Amino acid sequence: MSIPELVCPAGNLPSLKTAVDNGADWVYMGLKDETNARNFAGLNFDAAGAREGLRYAHAAGAKMLLAINTFPQGHAAPRWQRAIDGAADLGIDAVILADAGLMRYAAERHPQLRLHLSVQTSATNYEAINFYHERFGISRAVLPRVLSLAQVADVVKNTPVPIEVFGFGSLCVMVEGRCALSSYVTGESPNTRGVCSPAKAVRWEKHGDTLDARLNGILIDRFAAGENAGYPTLCKGRFEVEDETYYAIEEPSSLNAMELLPELAQIGIAAIKIEGRQRSPAYVAAVTRIWRAAIDAYAQNPARFSVQADWGNGLARVAEGQQHTLGAYHRKWK
């Protein structure tokens, strides 16, 4: 049994500091451009912010990760390569990469730079993970949110690469790195621009008592008076299939795997990742504090671990859509 490390999101310096203060082992961040998969206006770090963040994290004994996890197109790789050079120069503890060409560049140019395999790489099995390990010496792999617990255990058993899994946050129902739904509708996707269902494509239209949420003209959901109108992420709307109207792809719920913490530790998971670089410092503070408490409680007394009511309530308050799921870890979700 190992005690998983806690990996927390930082969309800006206040979030980074609060993640560190609340007990994150690692914080991950991105630059203010399309080299990362949360390329949102007002979010992310410039070089000075990254330097300050790194200083703050290291002073507290935490480590910092830079996500460079989109796919440069055509001749564009040099811009992403400069981001890798910058991370190495700055002394970032590891970079999270998705594109194979960039991994090769990093492994050749910066052999001392630690590489983590991004969830956007879509590596769902140990053959794939071991291949990246053989070729580029990756130090950790983040699993897509599609595997059941038994499948996660099988991966861990068959790879020398430490495995990180998502524990909490917004849930992708599709295999990450393999979803072009957003570019089909808006022209921009996680792979190409680091965004999904971008805000600039969203239109809210009020018709009498109903509120329509559209994404580049496509009706993602229609809310009756009094219904909680969530952000129109395109896979989480209500659609019609054979005259039935329902959440045909996924409900607007978020992942919470806290009750699986003992199983994840026993499987030998190296780290648990919290999603949400686009969320507020308050979210980062609450989720980091509660997960730190849970992991510490488990480490102290594995046999007696149970999810405390105030942890559950605290997480429920910040969850997207106010609804929790175990996602694919639980076979029935599939």
Partner 1 sequence: MKLSLGPVLYYWTREALLEFYAKVAGSGVDIVYLGEVVCSRRHNLRLDDWLDLARDLGASGKQVVLSSQALIESESDLKALRRIAANGEFTVEANEMGAVRLLAGRVPFVAGPHLNIYNNETLAWFAELGATRFVLPLELSRDVLRELQSARPAGVETEVFAYGRMPLAFSARCFTARHHDLPKDDCQFRCLDDPDGLALQTRDKAAFLTLNGLQTQSALVYDLSDAIAELRDLKVDVLRLSPQSRDTIAIIESFHERCAGRPGASLEGLRVAPPCNGYWYGVPGMEYRVPA
Residues that bind partner 1 (CB under 8 A): 71-77, 98-102, 104-105, 121-128, 130-132, 134, 146-148, 151, 154, 173-175, 177-181, 183-187, 189, 191-192, 216, 218-222, 235, 238-242, 244-245, 248-250, 328, 331-334
Residue 47 CB, nearest distance to partner 1 (Å)? 24
Closest CB to partner 1 among 210 and 322? 210
Q: Which of 327, 294, 326 is nearest to 310 (CA)?
A: 294
Q: Which is nearer to partner 1, 133 or 273 (CB)?
A: 133
Minimum CB–partner distance for residue 8 and partner 1 (Å): 25
Contact 288, 60 (CB under 8 A): no
User: What is the three-class DSSP state of 124?
Assistant: coil
Nearest CB to partner 1, comparing residues 132 and 291: 132
Q: Output 202 or 219, the one with its CB closest to partner 1.
A: 219
The tokens describing 26, both together, are: 């690692």
Nearest-approach distance from CB 80 to partner 1, in angstroms: 9
Category of 177 on φ-ψ map: left (φ > 0), alpha (ψ -120 to 50) or beta: left
Strand partners, 207: 210
Closest to partner 1 by CB, 23 or 144: 144
Q: Which residues fall within 8 angstroms of residue 271, CB to CB, at 6 or more apart?
A: 4, 5, 6, 7, 25, 26, 140, 162, 163, 164, 165
Nearer to partner 1, 127 or 310 (CB): 127
Closest CA to 126 of 104, 98, 171, 159: 159
| Region for 215 from its dihedrals, namely left if φ exceeds 0, alpha if ψ lies in -120 to 50, beta otherwise | beta
Taking the complex as a whole, the smallest distance from the CB of residue 79 to partner 1 amounts, in Å, to 11
Quote the least distance from Cβ 167 to partner 1, whole Å. Answer: 17
CB 20 within 8 A of CB 62: yes
Find the shortest distance in angstroms from Cβ 259 to partner 1: 20
Q: Are 37 and 142 in contact (CB under 8 A)?
A: no
